[in-house]
């Protein structure tokens, strides 16, 4: 997780908390550049290595939208990447075919990842936003018997 979740610019400010500059400083033609410097092919650069500009929503956070949050349990996870493919908020962090965790700056707490997680017990579960992740992990349910 280190160096992936801890990149400098992730979620540095709440949406709407940006500096309100005057007419002389807004961009010409209302354009927004995604990066501060030239990039070769973004598709080949990992997010943690990109020169995100302050205009990129990557630098903002929507964490305050959440009332419940997904908690991830590495011990049960089989790295199937279901959660990755269906997360609507680019908030499942996967690198080298491994699920690493949740981007809590961008996760809105929809719960889709939990629904699509196939393990038993699930490797992702929703908890109250205020709940401590360690405590949540401590209460993780046991494997459920198949009902039939």
Partner 1 sequence: MAITSIKNLKEFSTTNERFEGAHLLCPGCAHSMIVRELLNCTDDNLVLATNTGCLEVSTAVYPYTSWDTSWIHIGFENAASAVTGAEAMYKARKRKGTLKDPDAPVKFVAFGGDGSTFDIGFQWISGAVERGHDFTYICLDNENYANTGGQRSSATPIGAHTSTAQAGRVSYGKKQKKKDIVGIFAAHGAPYVAQLSPNKWKIMAKGFQKALETEGPCFINTVSACTTEWKFDPKDTIHVTDLATDSLMFPIYEIINGTKLNILYRPKNIIPVEEYLAAQGRYKHLFKPENRHVIEQIQKEIDEKWEYLQRREEASV
Partner 2 sequence: MADKMELNEVEVWDGNYAASQALRQAQVDVVAAYPITPSTPIVENYGAYVANGYVDGEYVMAESEHGAMSACVGAAAAGGRVATATSSQGFMLMLEVLYQASGMRLPIVLTVVNRAVASPLNVRGDHGDMYAGRDSGWVQIDAFNAQEAYDLTLCAFKIGEDLDVRLPVMVHQDGFVTSHTAQNVYPLSDEEAYAFVGDYKPVDEMLDFSRPVTYGAQTEEDWHYEHKAKQHKALMESYKVIDKVFEEFEKKTGRKYNRLEQYMMEDAEVAIVALGTTVETAIYAAEQLRKDEGIKAGVVAPRSFRPFPYNEIREALANVKSVAVLDRSCPMGAMGALYNEICGAMASTPANPLVTNYIYGLGGRDFAVEDAKNIFREQKANADAGYITTELQQFSGLRGPKLAFYEAKRS
- Contact residues: ligand SF4, CB under 6 A: 70, 77-83, 87, 89, 91-92, 99, 102, 107-113, 116-117, 119, 123-124
Contacts of 22 (CB under 8 A, 6+ apart): none
Rounded Cα–Cα distance for residues 13 and 105 (Å): 10
Nearest approach, Cβ of residue 110 and ligand SF4 (Å): 4
* Alpha-carbon torsion, ordered 85, 90, 95, 99, to 10 deg: -60
Which x/- pattern, by CB under 8 A, does the window 6-45 give for partner 1?
A: -----x---x--x-------xx--x-x-xx-----xxxxx
Are the C-beta atoms of residues 50 and 42 closer than 8 Å to each other?
yes
Stretch of 94-102, 130-138, 139-147 contacting partner 1, by CB under 8 A: 94-102
């Amino acid at each position: 997780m280190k160096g992936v979740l801890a990149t400098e610019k992730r979620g540095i400010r709440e949406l709407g908390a940006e500096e309100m500059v005057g007419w002389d400083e807004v961009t010409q033609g209302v354009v927004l550049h995604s990066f501060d410097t030239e990039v070769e092919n973004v598709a080949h650069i990992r997010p943690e290595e990109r020169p995100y500009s302050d205009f990129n929503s990557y630098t903002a956070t929507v964490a305050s939208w959440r009332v419940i949050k997904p908690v991830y349990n590495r011990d049960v996870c089989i790295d199937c990447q279901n959660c990755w493919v269906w997360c609507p908020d680019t908030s499942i962090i996967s690198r080298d075919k491994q699920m690493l965790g949740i981007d809590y700056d961008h996760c809105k707490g929809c719960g889709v990842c939990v629904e699509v997680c196939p393990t038993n017990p699930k490797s992702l579960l929703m908890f109250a936003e205020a709940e401590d992740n360690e405590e949540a992990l401590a209460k993780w349910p046991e494997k459920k018997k198949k009902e039939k």
